[in-house]
Amino acid sequence: MYSMLNIVAAFVFLLLQLLQGGTALDNGLALKPPMGWMSWQRFRCITDCKTYPDECISEQLFRRHADLIVSEGYADVGYEYVIIDDCWLEKNRDNKTNKLVPDRKRFPNGLNVLADHIHERGLKFGLYQDFGTNTCAGYPGVINHMALDAATFANWDVDYVKLDGCYANISDMAAGYPEFGRLLNSTGRPMVYSCSWPAYQSEVGQMPEYESLKKHCNLWRNWDDIDDSLESLMQIIDYFGKNQDSIQPHAGPGHWNDPDMLLLGNYGLSYDQSKLQMAIWAVLAAPLIMSNDLAKVRPEIKDILQNRAVIAVNQDPLGIQGRRLLMKNNIEVWRRPITPTADAEYSYAVAFVSRRVDGAPYAISFTLKDLSLNNEYGYGVQDLFEPNSNLGVFRSESHFNTRVIPNGVNFYKFTALGN
């Protein structure tokens, strides 16, 4: 019955999208937040393959990760895009054709061979470029060769383009990013279009043009890059909480806010903090783009990355981004409406986040009414990190009690019950 409701809900939303008449980019892509793997956060701009053969930005790195996404079970739970970030290019365009040239030493076979390797595994191929004269790491950008580069991407069988915004005038972006999107479209090859444009606007205090972003981009980086630390993660979570009135309404099937990559599997987050990022990214309907060495992810972290119940929240077909509902005693409650719906009431994913550092697990108690969960027939409650759990039925006046550890999260699904 749930899956039937899912299908109906997805259909209703597609219909709503059509009725809204072209307010959103209509390339049929990213109807759910994209899932995959990207090189930047973990591997940055390592180009010395002699010293770091397993880490340098090279054909080998992306082949290896395409293989691992399949062999380690990530593909089975939805991770799909293998995305090259910065530092894949030669420093100069081809002198005769002006075409972009992948680094001859590190991508000796060109990108079509790598794209084939990725596609043969049932995965999709993503590529980074930059709207300005140069990429952030100083390689050639697209600005004076946009049509040529869009066509080149299509010829390389690219499925996803991330367009960064270094070495560009912010005032050119409002026209330039849509223009590159039109050029991608005119190649005839469907490519997910990820725009970094609002991150550059918010950096200088400008309000991003969300209506235009929705029309021209499938996802967009709203703010700063993530780094491998709890501090960086919390700054991003705070930004999305504080600015949710301007950010949250713009997410939906085909167009997503992007708080940046998952840190899980690296050095900066503990086991429990890893759950925290995964839970909040699920509430935010954020793209789930890992950036780690998939050969070295510990089993308990892999379990979090592959938690099907949490991923289902992230990928919920309604595509409604959640919000920070309340803050009290350094406990935050984040809440996202999801399927299944019953008697016109949503179900909800609810994350209780502790910002406390005073040692002991902190006991909290809310009535469901406090959480604006008012379904007449109550909710069945499940701990999303204990997928077979059944915590019973709660109604609006029931008290929901739990304890949250310092810098931790408890994450529950409240399934609306019908008559």
Ligand X SMILES: *[C@@H]1O[C@H](CO)[C@@H](O)[C@H](O)[C@H]1NC(C)=O
205 part of the interface to ligand X, by CB under 6 A: no
Residue by residue, DSSP assigns 157-213 as T--EEEEE-TTS-HHHHHHHHHHHHHHHHHTTS--EEEE-HHHHHHHTTPPP-HHHH
Check if 164 is active-site.
yes
Q: Which stretch binds ligand X (CB under 6 A): 25-33, 329-337, 353-361, 382-390?
A: 25-33
Minimum CB separation from ligand X for residue 174, in Å?
14
21 part of the interface to ligand X, by CB under 6 A: no
Residue count at the site for ligand X (CB under 6 A)? 14
Residue closer to ligand X (CB basis): 158 or 311: 158
Check if 224 is active-site.
no
Minimum CB separation from ligand X for residue 88, in Å?
17
185 part of the interface to ligand X, by CB under 6 A: yes
Q: Which stretch binds ligand X (CB under 6 A): 163-171, 211-219, 286-294, 391-399?
A: 163-171
Q: Which stretch binds ligand X (CB under 6 A): 42-50, 188-196, 238-246, 316-324?
A: 188-196
Catalytic residue from among 54, 224, 225, 227: 225
Residue closer to ligand X (CB basis): 89 or 350: 89
169 part of the interface to ligand X, by CB under 6 A: yes
Structure tokens at 195: 């725009």
CA distances in angstroms from 159 to 23, 192, 319, listed in the order given:
22, 6, 21
Minimum CB separation from ligand X for residue 260, in Å?
24
388 part of the interface to ligand X, by CB under 6 A: no
Secondary structure of residue 369 in the 3-state scheme: coil
Residue of 95, 329, 388, 401 interacting with ligand X (CB under 6 A) = 95
- Sign of the torsion formed by the C-alpha atoms of 333, 334, 336 and 340: negative
With beta carbons less than 8 A apart as the criterion, state whether 294 and 37 touch: yes
Question: Could you give the maximum distance between any two Cα atoms of the chain, in Å?
Answer: 73
C-alpha span between 175 and 349 (Å, rounded)? 38
Q: What angle do CA 59, 64, 65 make, to 5 degrees?
A: 105
Q: What one-character DSSP code corresponds to residue 408?
A: -
Spell out, one character per residue from 233 to 252, where the chain touches ligand X: x when CB under 6 A holds, - when not: --------------------
The H-or-E segment that residue 311 falls in is helix 308-314
Catalytic residue from among 85, 159, 164, 258: 164
Q: Which residues contact 136 (CB under 8 A, 6 or more apart)?
A: 86, 130, 164, 166, 167
92 part of the interface to ligand X, by CB under 6 A: yes
Minimum CB separation from ligand X for residue 27, in Å?
4
Burial class of 209 by CB neighbour count within 10 A (0 to 12, 13 to 18, 19+): middle
Q: Which stretch binds ligand X (CB under 6 A): 37-45, 46-54, 58-66, 164-172?
A: 164-172
Structure tokens at 317: 């077909």
Q: What one-character DSSP code corresponds to residue 291?
A: -
Length of the chain: 419
Residue of 102, 132, 165, 253 interacting with ligand X (CB under 6 A) = 132
Residue closer to ligand X (CB basis): 156 or 167: 167
190 part of the interface to ligand X, by CB under 6 A: yes
| Residues acting as catalytic residues | 164, 225
Binding site for ligand X (CB under 6 A): 26-28, 92, 95, 132-133, 167-169, 185, 188-190
